[in-house]
């Protein structure tokens, strides 16, 4: 399988959001990545189900909803109704992770688990057979435009070994500081999905930049 590209709308122009959505629709991107922040789990606030339901009316590709929030279980049905095609929750935010993942899947949505940079991948050993993908944060979550954390490569390699050893079909997604320079190495390490925000939306030709990321 060729790797997937998921532009992060957190870096889009919210005064011209429809224009940026149309650009992603036209491009070779595979998903829309949507970062939901509550100002508690991370030090920022972004948007919720209301905005996502509006995005879903224009988006022609799956909505990859990344919940950077406390108590995500309270809102899973709301995000499902808003149009999420994939929902990922943080390992660090879930008291009963297996239950949360099971609820996401019961809603007919692909389920992912997210790890912050400091969280070791070995903690996913028991939940890995249940998830469709794992999102590794390669920056500390909460803000776009941060510098890529180099230890992410070793985490990708370790996670890929776990996936293979368990016979899992889980994909590896990486979010934070992804650009044209490090994308090839991320793919070589075992990444299946690249999330790119500033790299895409600050580009003078974002469609071409997405194409270049697809070629990584």
Catalytic status, residue 22: no
* Active-site option among 20, 38, 132, 175: 175
Q: Are strands 86-90 and 63-68 parallel, antiparallel or unpaired?
A: parallel
| List 30, 35, 132, 192, catalytic entry | 35
Who's near 133: CB < 8 A, 6+ residues apart? 86, 88, 110, 112, 170, 171, 172, 173, 192, 193
**Based on C-alpha coordinates, what's the Rg of the chain?**
16
| Residue 154 backbone dihedrals phi, psi, to 5 degrees | -65, -30
Name, in order, each residue with C-beta under 8 angstroms of 55's C-beta and a sequence gap of 6 or more. 9, 17, 21, 32, 34, 63, 83
193-196 vs 171-175, strand pairing mode: parallel
Copy the structure tokens of residue 2.
Answer: 């060729």
CA dist., res. 167 & res. 53, Å (int): 35
> Is residue 13 annotated as part of the catalytic site, yes or no?
no
Cα-based distances in Å from 33 to 82, 144, 156, 159, 202: 14, 13, 20, 21, 16
Q: Bridge-partner residues for 134, per DSSP?
A: 113, 172
Catalytic residues: 35, 175
């Amino acid at each position: 399988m060729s790797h997937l590209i998921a532009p992060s709308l957190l870096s889009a122009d919210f005064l011209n959001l429809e224009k940026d959505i149309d650009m992603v629709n036209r491009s070779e991107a595979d998903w829309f990545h949507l970062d939901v922040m509550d100002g508690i789990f991370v030090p920022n606030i972004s948007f919720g189900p209301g905005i996502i339901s509006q995005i879903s009316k224009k988006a022609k590709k799956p909505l990859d909803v990344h919940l950077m929030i406390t108590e995500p279980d309270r809102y899973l049905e709301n995000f499902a109704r808003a149009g999420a095609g994939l929902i990922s929750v943080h390992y660090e935010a879930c008291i009963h992770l297996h239950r949360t993942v099971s609820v996401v899947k019961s809603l007919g949505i692909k389920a992912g688990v997210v790890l912050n940079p400091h969280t070791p991948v070995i903690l996913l050993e028991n939940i890995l057979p249940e998830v469709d993908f794992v999102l590794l944060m390669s920056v500390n979550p909460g803000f776009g435009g941060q510098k890529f954390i180099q230890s992410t490569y070793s985490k990708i390699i370790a996670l890929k070994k776990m996936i293979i050893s368990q016979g899992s079909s889980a994909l590896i997604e990486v979010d934070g500081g992804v650009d044209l320079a490090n994308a090839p190495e991320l793919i070589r390490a075992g990444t299946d999905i690249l999330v790119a925000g500033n790299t895409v939306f600050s580009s003078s030709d974002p469609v071409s930049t997405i194409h270049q990321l697809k070629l990584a």
